[in-house]
């Protein structure tokens, strides 16, 4: 009986799946393995955000002005909001266009909440769904996206999903929920920008090394 080199269909599928997993792992390994890896910061997506028990601003103002204000502030003060330091990159390009476009379409009827349970309502699958519907245009490579879950006066904190994305595939490579406490800040934008600074600081001081140990080896 002649031997055949043909691969069984089931084995081919297993091999393909293993190859895809390997490609994802290599992408994360590349991200955490070098400070020179090209990365694009995409900003903060507020489309799923809930503003809990905060009556100080109108929903139209939050959507049309304040969300962009926080995103612009993060990039306008790079020493204070040290994204390059947090993600250990020598260069970090940015493009807020896609998130700005998405944020202006947020449903104003769903922005405010009086339910404290809304502070912890999102799951990893919600982030994957958001990313799969994101318009990255012709962008390729790794993107960093912050997905805001909630800004709560009750919890005195904001919750954000820090997410690494394969932009071409619209695929989440890694996502983790972090919280930052509120502090002093004059005006609505500055008050709620404080938690985002604390989250960026936590990434630089602690989380990046944890992620590198988990995904970079």
pTM above 0.85, yes or no: yes
**Tokens found for residue 106:** 């947020």
How confident is the model over 43-63, as pLDDT tens digits? 999 999 999 999 888 999 999
Largest CA distance in the chain: 83
- Predicted pLDDT at 56: 82
Place of tokens 């994360």: 28
* Separation of alpha carbons 74 and 144, rounded Å: 14
> Which carries the bigger pLDDT value, residue 186 or residue 99?
99
Residue 144: CB atoms within 10 Å: 21
> Please, are residues 69 and 189 in contact by the beta-carbon 8 Å criterion?
yes
**Tokens found for residue 5:** 């080199």
Which span out of 19-33, 156-170, 175-189 was modeled with the highest average pLDDT?
156-170
pLDDT over threshold 90, residue 87: yes
Domain extents for the chain?
10-215
How confident is the model over 150-180, as pLDDT tens digits? 999 999 999 999 999 999 999 999 999 999 9
């Amino acid at each position: 009986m002649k031997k055949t080199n043909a691969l069984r269909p089931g084995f081919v599928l297993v091999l393909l799946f293993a190859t895809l997993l390997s490609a994802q792992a290599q992408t994360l390994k590349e991200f955490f393995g070098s400070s020179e890896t090209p990365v694009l910061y995409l900003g903060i997506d507020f489309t799923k955000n809930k503003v809990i028990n905060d009556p100080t601003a109108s929903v139209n103002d939050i959507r049309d002005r304040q969300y962009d204000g926080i995103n612009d502030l993060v990039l306008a003060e790079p020493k204070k909001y040290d994204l390059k330091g947090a993600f250990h990159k020598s260069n970090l390009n940015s493009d807020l266009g896609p998130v700005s476009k998405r944020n202006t379409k947020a449903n104003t009827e769903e922005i405010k909440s009086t339910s404290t349970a809304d502070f912890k309502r999102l799951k990893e699958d919600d982030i994957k769904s958001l990313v799969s519907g994101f318009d990255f245009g012709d962008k390729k490579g790794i993107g960093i996206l912050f997905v805001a879950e909630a800004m709560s006066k009750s919890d005195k904190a904001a919750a954000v999903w820090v997410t690494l994305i394969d932009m071409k595939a619209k695929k989440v490579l890694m996502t983790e929920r972090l919280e930052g406490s509120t502090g002093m800040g004059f005006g609505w934008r500055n008050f709620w920008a404080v938690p985002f600074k604390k989250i960026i600081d936590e990434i630089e001081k602690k989380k990046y090394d944890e992620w590198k140990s988990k995904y970079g080896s």
